[in-house]
A and B are shown apart, each in its own frame.
Chain A
Amino acid sequence: MPTFGFWNVDSLRNLHTDERELPRFVADLALERSIDVFFLIECGIPCESLMAAFKGGPEYYPISCGERFKVLARFDPKLMQRLPLPVPSDRFDIWQLALPLQEDMLLSVVHGLDKRNNSPAKQELFLQQVVAALSYFENKVGHDRSIVFGDFNANPFESPVASALGMNAVISRAIAQSDPRRMLNQSYPYFYNPMWNLYGDEPRSSAPATYYYRGSDPHELYWHMLDQVLIRPSLLNGFDFSALDIVTTVRSTELTGASGTPDRTRFSDHLPVVFGVDLSVKNDKGGKHV
């Protein structure tokens, strides 16, 4: 079963003054969790620096991606084909992963528009573009075994993620597996959002969410689940819920500070997420809406 990981490492700015040992922790995390494909978001670290950190371990290869991302895989890059977006964007990418003797799937990594500079309408418009591009490729390949993940810059309950005019990602497996939502003769297929299950204090070995922000709003959430994995229903049977995890420790090193919040000085203001999908499972609802 392939294991995937992603982490917003917040390293697009001030790269020359950045003293964090991110390549080492990226490599340690990938090796400790046996991650097959690791996606780094907001990553300005050169590929060579990342690859050098893996020295002595199993071989990882860089996968073609946009400038905002870095992708490392533990297999021949030919098995993970980057798909040319109909309208290019530097904020998301889509690949077709075809591992030997396994069902192929579509993977998309996203870095959503931030809330400070963009209205919810703008955030939704961008995520609609992600869904439109993914649907385009689902139609092309003839199935909807797709997963979209990354930093959406919106919580699971906020309209960019939950609205039919955004990602249309729902809290319930039963809803996700039902017929696509119909509004005014338009069909909106669902994603299932398993991150709802990880939002909160349990289990205590993890964090309440992936991002912490202490603002001045009277209604302050503090912890935000900005980093999410959204699954098409056709992959639900193969999704390993026990493998889905917000990572707080890498080789005994805490990614959080004394207050339990992400240690942005040493690591990142986001925590990494790992998940696994069994692609050998034959799913009875595959390709339903395409």
Chain B
Amino acid sequence: MSKNLWPDFDIEQAPRSPKAVIEEAGSGLEKKTNGVVRFFTMSTSIKDNEVHLVFSLYTQSLGYHFPFLRVKFAVEPVYPVTIAADKMTDVIVANDENELTASLAKIFNAPSTVETIQRLMSLVQQ
């Protein structure tokens, strides 16, 4: 058989999973902290058709993970995504990728988050 019956695939067209969105958004932390603090996927689990993720702020030199975000979304459809973040009073709900990115920006820039990361950086310097 000479003709390939399969169509062409464009991976760029596939919707990104919330996990990939969050990991990409968090990955810039290492650069911003000169490699001292990393945004780390601490655990992934699936329960009752829901994906549960925990992300930490990880300082390798201390060997310390600070559990920072709890994220939950359905296997299909993946939105809405709910986020419980350290020191944020409400659970945040994001209904699409744009909202998820905006929510992460809000969490990352919260004064309490900045304070936590600065605290971890200063601990490493001690």
Are A and B genuine complex partners? yes
Counting CB contacts under 8 A, is A97 at the interface? Answer: no
Q: Contact: A129 with B84, CB < 8 Å? A: no
Counting CB contacts under 8 A, is B95 at the interface? Answer: no
Chain B residues within an 8 Å CB radius of A121: 70, 72, 82, 84, 91
Closest to A123 in B: B84
Counting CB contacts under 8 A, is B89 at the interface? Answer: yes
Chain B residues within an 8 Å CB radius of A124: 70
Which residues in B have some Cβ–Cβ distance to A below 8 Å? 42-45, 52, 54, 56, 62-67, 69-70, 72, 82, 84, 86, 89, 91, 116, 119-120, 123
Q: Contact: B62 with A125, CB < 8 Å? A: no
Pair count A-B, CB < 8 A: 55
Query: How far, in Å, is B10 (CB) from chain A's closest CB?
Result: 30
Question: What are 14 A-B contacts with C-beta separation under 8 Å?
Answer: A86-B120, A119-B84, A119-B91, A121-B70, A121-B82, A125-B54, A125-B67, A125-B69, A125-B84, A129-B66, A132-B56, A165-B45, A184-B43, A184-B44
Q: Which residues 114-164 of A sit at the B interface, judged by CB distance below 8 A?
A: 117, 119, 121-122, 124-125, 128-129, 132, 136, 139
- What's the dominant secondary structure at chain B's contact region? strand
Partner of B63, one of A139, A183, A184: A139
Q: Contact: A129 with B43, CB < 8 Å? A: no
Q: Contact: A86 with B70, CB < 8 Å? A: no
Partner of B62, one of A86, A129, A183: A86
In the bound assembly, the distance between CA atoms of A122 and B42 in angstroms comes to 16
The answer to whether A183 and B86 touch (CB under 8 A), given A86-B66, A88-B119, A129-B67, is no
Q: Contact: A184 with B45, CB < 8 Å? A: yes
Chain A residues within an 8 Å CB radius of B91: 119, 121-122
The answer to whether A132 and B119 touch (CB under 8 A), given A121-B91, A122-B91, A184-B45, is no
In the bound assembly, the distance between CA atoms of A186 and B66 in angstroms comes to 15
Interface 1/0 per residue, A177-204 and B, CB below 8 Å: 0000001101000000000000000000
Closest to A139 in B: B63
Closest to B63 in A: A139
Q: Contact: A129 with B72, CB < 8 Å? A: no
